[in-house]
Chains A and B, each alone.
Chain A
């Protein structure tokens, strides 16, 4: 075990796979000489050479298109979007080609697209989004949203060896803030298996990514009220662990779904609907959502704080549910 930041764990996972499997290569804007905007691939070009750590033009369409083609020819590309927001340029390649190729022609498309996402640092509307629900809606794409360094490494390795296109949403706010023990050897963490971040009996919070920690802070306050909160970290949004969510819903009978993405059509809606469908007779209160309001992420720090769900918002929501 070694102590790593979330960012170091991602680097470590990527490096592990590149050392192990020659088919794995990295492509993206400034990933080579500069080591990536966030320095995830710092030192990679020195170790693996310019043909495996490729600086691309500023063209996300080209990046994902190249990856798709390379994957169909047997490679295992890992693309970096400098910010998750920029992936919209590559929508067509991801959604029309990569996601559907296997179903149309039976050809696997084993690409990973790394997406530094999330806000909390006044990045403004183009550098702060959490677009996982848009892609979770597309059959054929998998969406991973790790919250811990250990998960980030294990899930990235799983993503690289998965035969399908995987979008890997790494939360920028966690990059250097979150540190923990991470196994140094290679390991994988399966998709679709949630992690119980905190066990509790009275109210469940279903969440992922950076909101896991917001929920954790809120849970501490609820604990002072004598309310025991359970936090389920989905880890992967597609596929997502219905069984774990339903089990927690059945246990506590009160559920709060929390995400940083905007509310309408956010993935929380799918979770809430599934709970209503599958666990209706176990509910003791309405399934509640806390999410960002339906507007672009504001630049102003004050507005951004009002936009992203804060600990106090979650505390208020949990208190309301607990008292219901």
Chain B
């Protein structure tokens, strides 16, 4: 604050919201003696007019702001020098402005620089005159000169300094870097993100493949291809990042115990002529994993049934207009099937259940999943409509439309795709009449719905005679986990479901 014993007089804060003040009158002139707390000037703010007492005793060395001027709170107005000193001494400049701590010497920088200079001097570089100079460059370029704890990274010492931050560990894993080769500039010689990025950019990571010439563990193969003398080794200079297999990162470098990974999945080599290669999206990987796991888990069996949809077609024809006008909702065949399925599942709790450990779990609700193809045709997602047992036909139609739209627009929340108890998939839109879908784990069944097709159908006329009529027929399949659901149960489920659809009445919702 006060250099020597000079005291600065600043525009005081005269109230909560006051930011500036105007000098109305100086009560002393430059050179006048003044006692502590004696009135020095008068100011006016938008709240009060007041005198400002002198914060120190001595003489008014300098008046910085003249009468009539308005300045911000904290601005230096005058300087009081100790008695006996000359008037007109220097202040830092009129715009020193706000806060006094800015005047403090910049200690950390200087200190660091001094230390640096000392270190340099010990190597016989510096003389005294240079000690001042590095003040500027030292803090600016810490990355270039390995700082004092040079012993740190030597030989991969395994003490506290080898701590890897998450991001460093990740980068090391992605680029197959042996972190002990990287010069650390962080606290205690820690390797920082910048250090390792610079190391990777310098290309050192590829050259410095460490000597542990033992046969490379699988993850090393994928991380640093050149180490493996494989005939498909790519000669390209910059290493393409590995196929993002997140590995426990620190291990690659430090612990050579080969964690046996399942199948290293044939090294992704260059495509042969005529082939094209594209990366697998996270969704595709998820689908791949799930489908495989489902087939490995459940004993898949599929049963099919044919349903005469005449009544549904007729009722839908009527409702379409009504729902469309009143609610803006299209009562699709799928919503009829979904509605009938939920009703039927009430009587077949195991088909709406799951095997959990050695227990069978059933529910008093149905969270219905709907398999939805994404717009680009490159993915599939199964959003779930919760508590469908509480939905009538209109509610079901609305829910299905809404969730499918959100799925296509990629606006689903994590909650939207969890908690399903049974799933419906509807590949019938393309005219297919049969399929064997894969169960969405850990559920016990999945219903497939297929195209409604006009077929010649044997029905009985009013005399009880068999006649051939043209009827809209839809195939339904139930794929079930035979560990839990037996064929007879599945058959009864399909029979009841068909009965509901074939006898759909005007007043059924």
The answer to whether residues A323 and B166 also contact, given A127-B16, A172-B17, A226-B141 and a CB cut-off of 8 A, is no
Of the listed residues B99, B141, B166, B186, the one surrounded by the most CB atoms of chain A closer than 10 A to its CB is B166
Listed stretches A63-71, A85-93, A282-290; interface member = A282-290
A225, CB-defined interface residue at 8 Å? yes
Bound-state Cα–Cα, A175 to B73, Å = 13
Bound-state Cα–Cα, A177 to B17, Å = 9
**B136 vs chain A, min Cβ distance (A):** 9
Chain B, residue nearest A6 (CB): B19
Bound-state Cα–Cα, A323 to B139, Å = 10
The answer to whether residues A175 and B17 also contact, given A284-B167, A285-B165 and a CB cut-off of 8 A, is yes
The answer to whether A280 and B166 have CB atoms under 8 Å apart is yes
The answer to whether residues A284 and B109 also contact, given A225-B140, A323-B187, A324-B190 and a CB cut-off of 8 A, is no
Residues on A with beta carbons closer than 8 Å to the beta carbon of B167: 253, 281-284
A176, CB-defined interface residue at 8 Å? yes
Residues on B with beta carbons closer than 8 Å to the beta carbon of A127: 16
A273-297: CB near B (< 8 Å → 1, else 0) gives 0000000111111000000000000
Residues on B with beta carbons closer than 8 Å to the beta carbon of A312: 101
The answer to whether residues A284 and B141 also contact, given A176-B18, A177-B19, A224-B109 and a CB cut-off of 8 A, is no
Residues on B with beta carbons closer than 8 Å to the beta carbon of A285: 165
**A278 vs chain B, min Cβ distance (A):** 12
**8 A Cβ contacts from B117-170 to A:** 139-141, 165-170
A121, CB-defined interface residue at 8 Å? yes
Residues on A with beta carbons closer than 8 Å to the beta carbon of B99: 311
Bound-state Cα–Cα, A176 to B11, Å = 15
The answer to whether A175 and B139 have CB atoms under 8 Å apart is no
B20, CB-defined interface residue at 8 Å? yes
The answer to whether B192 and A176 have CB atoms under 8 Å apart is no
Q: How many chain B residues have a CB neighbour from A under 8 Å?
A: 28
Chain A, residue nearest B188 (CB): A324
**A165 vs chain B, min Cβ distance (A):** 24
Residues on A with beta carbons closer than 8 Å to the beta carbon of B139: 225-226
B108, CB-defined interface residue at 8 Å? yes
Which of B109, B165, B190 interacts with A283 by CB under 8 Å?
Answer: B165
**B53 vs chain A, min Cβ distance (A):** 16
**8 A Cβ contacts from A111-136 to B:** 121-123, 127
B392, CB-defined interface residue at 8 Å? no
The answer to whether B186 and A323 have CB atoms under 8 Å apart is yes
B193, CB-defined interface residue at 8 Å? yes
The answer to whether residues A284 and B192 also contact, given A225-B140, A319-B108 and a CB cut-off of 8 A, is yes
The answer to whether residues A284 and B17 also contact, given A324-B186, A324-B187 and a CB cut-off of 8 A, is no
Residues on A with beta carbons closer than 8 Å to the beta carbon of B234: none
A38, CB-defined interface residue at 8 Å? yes
**B140 vs chain A, min Cβ distance (A):** 4
Bound-state Cα–Cα, A253 to B139, Å = 20
The answer to whether B140 and A226 have CB atoms under 8 Å apart is yes
Bound-state Cα–Cα, A172 to B16, Å = 7
The answer to whether A176 and B17 have CB atoms under 8 Å apart is yes
The answer to whether A283 and B140 have CB atoms under 8 Å apart is no
Residues on B with beta carbons closer than 8 Å to the beta carbon of A280: 166
Bound-state Cα–Cα, A186 to B43, Å = 37
Bound-state Cα–Cα, A285 to B101, Å = 29
Bound-state Cα–Cα, A39 to B15, Å = 13
**8 A Cβ contacts from B1-42 to A:** 13, 15-20
**A9 vs chain B, min Cβ distance (A):** 14
Bound-state Cα–Cα, A224 to B168, Å = 26
Residues on A with beta carbons closer than 8 Å to the beta carbon of B106: 224
B66-87: CB near A (< 8 Å → 1, else 0) gives 0000001100000000000000
The answer to whether A225 and B168 have CB atoms under 8 Å apart is no
The answer to whether A225 and B109 have CB atoms under 8 Å apart is yes
**A193 vs chain B, min Cβ distance (A):** 18
The answer to whether residues A282 and B166 also contact, given A323-B187, A324-B192 and a CB cut-off of 8 A, is yes
Bound-state Cα–Cα, A224 to B106, Å = 10
Bound-state Cα–Cα, A323 to B336, Å = 65
Bound-state Cα–Cα, A187 to B106, Å = 44
B317-358: CB near A (< 8 Å → 1, else 0) gives 000000000000000000000000000000000000000000
Residues on A with beta carbons closer than 8 Å to the beta carbon of B169: 281
The answer to whether B187 and A284 have CB atoms under 8 Å apart is no
Which of A175, A281, A323 interacts with B170 by CB under 8 Å?
Answer: A281
Residues on A with beta carbons closer than 8 Å to the beta carbon of B20: 176
Which of A122, A175, A282, A324 interacts with B19 by CB under 8 Å?
Answer: A175
Bound-state Cα–Cα, A57 to B427, Å = 67
The answer to whether B166 and A281 have CB atoms under 8 Å apart is yes
The answer to whether B19 and A176 have CB atoms under 8 Å apart is yes
Bound-state Cα–Cα, A283 to B166, Å = 6
Q: Which 7 A-B pairs have the closest CB atoms?
A: A176-B19, A226-B140, A284-B193, A284-B165, A281-B170, A177-B19, A284-B167
What are 22 sample pairs from A and B whose C-beta atoms fall under 8 A apart? A5-B19, A38-B16, A172-B17, A175-B17, A176-B20, A177-B72, A225-B139, A225-B140, A226-B139, A226-B141, A253-B167, A253-B193, A281-B166, A281-B169, A282-B166, A283-B167, A284-B167, A285-B165, A311-B99, A312-B101, A323-B187, A324-B192
Question: Given known contacts A121-B15, A282-B170, A324-B187, what 7 new A-B pairs fall within 8 Å (CB)?
Answer: A5-B19, A38-B16, A226-B141, A282-B167, A283-B167, A284-B168, A311-B101
Q: Interface residues, chain B, CB within 8 Å of chain A? A: 13, 15-20, 72-73, 99, 101, 106, 108-109, 139-141, 165-170, 186-187, 190, 192-193
